[in-house]
Structure 1
Amino acid sequence: MKQSVPGAAGPRCASPPSPCCWGCRCGGGRPRRTGPRCPTAGIAALGRLPLQLSVPISVVFAPGSVPADLPRQLPYRDVREEPVPVGSRSDVAARYEELYRGTTAREVAALGAATAREADAALHALQDASPGSLTVYVVPESSPLLPQGTDVYVGKHRSALLRAGQGLAALRARLQQLTWVMSLPATSIAAALADRVPDGQLGPDARRHLKSSLGYEITFSLLNPDPKSHDVDWDIEGAVGRYVQPVLDKLSVVANFSVDSQILYYAVLGVTPRFDKESSSFLLSAHSLPHVINPVEARLGSSAASLYPVLNFLLYVPERSHSPLYIQDKDGAPVPTNAFHSPRWGGIMIYNVEAPASPQASLPLHVDVDMVRVMEVFLAQLRLLFGISREELPPEFQVESPGNEGLADWELDRLLWAHTVENIATVATTLTSLAQLLDQISNIVIKDDVASEVYHAVASVQDAMAELAEGRLRSAFQASKEAVTSSERAFFDPSSPPPPLLPRRPEVCHLHPALPAHGRSHPSLPGQDPAGRPGSARRSPPK
Structure 2
Amino acid sequence: MAAPMSVAAVEASRGKRAAVSIALVAAVLGLPLWWKTTETYRASLPYSEISQLDTLRLQLTVPIEVIFAKGTLTVEQQRTIPVSDTKEKVSVLNTQTSFVRRYEIKYRRTSSEEDGALGLHTLQGADAALQQLNKGAHGSLAVYVIPETSALLPQGVSVYIGKHRRALVQCSPYPSLPTEDIFRTLYEKLERIAQAMSFTEEAVTAALSNRIPIGRFSKDDFANSRRAFKSSPGYEITFSLLNPDPKSHDLNWNIHSASDHYIQPFLDKLHPVANFSVDSQILYYAVLGVTPRFERATSSYTLNAYNLPHVINPVEARLGSSAASLYPVLNFLLYVPEYSHSPLHIQDKDGSRVSSNAFHSPRWGGIMVYNVDYESPEEPSFPVKVDIDMVRVMEVFLTQLRLLLGITKVLVPDDYMLETPGNEGLTDWELDRLLWSRAVENIATVTTTLTSLAQLLDQIGNIVINDNVASEVYHAVSSVQVALAELEAGRLESAFQASKQAITSSEKAFFDPSLIHLLYFPDDQKFAIYIPLFLPMAVPILLSLLKIAKEYKSSKKEPIKTE
Q: Same fold (TM over 0.5)?
A: yes
- TM-aligned CA deviation for residue 434 of structure 1: 1.1
Tell me what 1:448 maps to: 467
Tell me what 1:209 maps to: 228
Deviations 1:322-360 (A, max 9, x none): 110000010000000000011111100000012341635
Tell me what 1:285 maps to: 304
Tell me what 2:59 maps to: 52
Tell me what 2:243 maps to: 224
CA contact (8 A) 2:72 2:147 kept: yes
Distance 1:308 1:123, change over 3 A: same
Give the whole-Å Cα distance in 2 for the aligned partners of 1:451 and 1:321.
62
- TM-aligned CA deviation for residue 290 of structure 1: 1.0
Matching residue's letter, 2:97: S
1:381-420 alignment to 2 at 5 Å? 381-420=400-439
Deviations 1:372-419 (A, max 9, x none): 000000000011111212222111000001111111001001111111
The two structures, once aligned, show a CA RMSD in angstroms of 2.0
Distance 1:51 1:259, change over 3 A: same
Is 1:40 paired with 2:40?
no
Tell me what 2:192 maps to: 177
Tell me what 1:64 maps to: 71
For 2:323, what is the secondary structure of its paired residue? coil
CA contact (8 A) 1:86 1:189 kept: no
Matching residue's letter, 1:352: N
- TM-aligned CA deviation for residue 247 of structure 1: 0.3
Distance 1:298 1:498, change over 3 A: farther
Matching residue's letter, 1:56: P
Distance 1:434 1:115, change over 3 A: same
> How many aligned positions are there?
470
Matching residue's letter, 2:276: F
CA contact (8 A) 2:463 2:517 kept: no
Matching residue's letter, 2:206: A
Distance 1:389 1:360, change over 3 A: closer
Distance 1:415 1:283, change over 3 A: same
Tell me what 1:330 maps to: 349
Give the whole-Å Cα distance in 1 for the aligned partners of 2:92 and 2:372.
48
Is 1:120 paired with 2:135?
no
Distance 1:427 1:339, change over 3 A: same
- TM-aligned CA deviation for residue 198 of structure 1: 1.6
For 1:175, what is the secondary structure of its paired residue? helix
- TM-aligned CA deviation for residue 464 of structure 1: 0.5
- TM-aligned CA deviation for residue 442 of structure 1: 3.3
CA contact (8 A) 2:301 2:342 kept: yes
Distance 1:103 1:85, change over 3 A: farther
Tell me what 1:111 maps to: 118
Give the whole-Å Cα distance in 1 for the aligned partners of 2:316 and 2:94.
36
Give the whole-Å Cα distance in 2 for the aligned partners of 1:192 and 1:498.
31
Is 1:194 paired with 2:217?
no
Deviations 1:3-44 (A, max 9, x none): xx99xxxxxxxxxxxx997543xxxxxxxxxxxxx4111111
Which segment drifts farther, 356-365 or 182-191?
A: 356-365
Is 1:239 paired with 2:241?
no
Give the whole-Å Cα distance in 2 for the aligned partners of 1:378 and 1:349.
8
Distance 1:72 1:187, change over 3 A: farther
Distance 1:311 1:206, change over 3 A: same
- TM-aligned CA deviation for residue 230 of structure 1: 0.5
CA contact (8 A) 2:40 2:463 kept: no
- TM-aligned CA deviation for residue 218 of structure 1: 0.1
Matching residue's letter, 1:466: A
1:421-500 alignment to 2 at 5 Å? 421-497=440-516
For 2:314, what is the secondary structure of its paired residue? helix
Which segment drifts farther, 189-198 or 271-280?
A: 189-198
- TM-aligned CA deviation for residue 489 of structure 1: 1.1
Give the whole-Å Cα distance in 2 for the aligned partners of 1:69 and 1:212.
50
TM-score, with structure 2 as normaliser: 0.80
CA contact (8 A) 2:161 2:168 kept: yes
Tell me what 1:79 maps to: 86
Is 1:153 paired with 2:172?
no
TM-score, with structure 1 as normaliser: 0.83
For 2:316, what is the secondary structure of its paired residue? helix
- TM-aligned CA deviation for residue 206 of structure 1: 2.2
CA contact (8 A) 2:345 2:357 kept: yes
Give the whole-Å Cα distance in 1 for the aligned partners of 2:232 and 2:337.
34
For 2:322, what is the secondary structure of its paired residue? coil
For 1:444, what is the secondary structure of its paired residue? coil
- Unaligned regions of 5+ residues in structure 2, if any? 1-33, 175-181, 519-563
- TM-aligned CA deviation for residue 457 of structure 1: 0.4
Give the whole-Å Cα distance in 1 for the aligned partners of 2:343 and 2:399.
23
Distance 1:466 1:347, change over 3 A: same
CA contact (8 A) 2:61 2:101 kept: yes
Which segment drifts farther, 68-77 or 376-385?
A: 68-77
Give the whole-Å Cα distance in 2 for the aligned partners of 1:360 and 1:325.
17
Question: Computing the radius of gyration over CA atoms, which structure comes out larger, 1 or 2?
Answer: 2
Tell me what 1:321 maps to: 340
- TM-aligned CA deviation for residue 436 of structure 1: 2.0
1:349-388 alignment to 2 at 5 Å? 349-357=368-376, 359=378, 361-388=380-407
Give the whole-Å Cα distance in 1 for the aligned partners of 2:92 and 2:348.
32
Give the whole-Å Cα distance in 2 for the aligned partners of 1:106 and 1:248.
33
Which segment drifts farther, 98-107 or 182-191?
A: 182-191
CA contact (8 A) 1:52 1:92 kept: yes
Bigger fraction of residues in helix: 2
CA contact (8 A) 1:313 1:348 kept: yes
Give the whole-Å Cα distance in 2 for the aligned partners of 1:228 and 1:20.
66
Give the whole-Å Cα distance in 2 for the aligned partners of 1:96 and 1:21.
48
- TM-aligned CA deviation for residue 69 of structure 1: 9.7
Give the whole-Å Cα distance in 2 for the aligned partners of 1:69 and 1:205.
48
For 1:495, what is the secondary structure of its paired residue? helix
For 2:324, what is the secondary structure of its paired residue? coil
CA contact (8 A) 2:40 2:462 kept: no
Tell me what 1:95 maps to: 102
The answer to which structure, 1 or 2, has the higher relative contact order (CA under 8 A, 6+ apart) is 1
Give the whole-Å Cα distance in 2 for the aligned partners of 1:474 and 1:143.
35
- TM-aligned CA deviation for residue 497 of structure 1: 3.2
Tell me what 1:143 maps to: 150
Give the whole-Å Cα distance in 1 for the aligned partners of 2:324 and 2:200.
36
Deviations 1:422-480 (A, max 9, x none): 11111111111211221331311110111011011000000000011001111111111
- TM-aligned CA deviation for residue 362 of structure 1: 1.8
Matching residue's letter, 1:108: D
Instruction: Report the identity percentage.
Output: 60
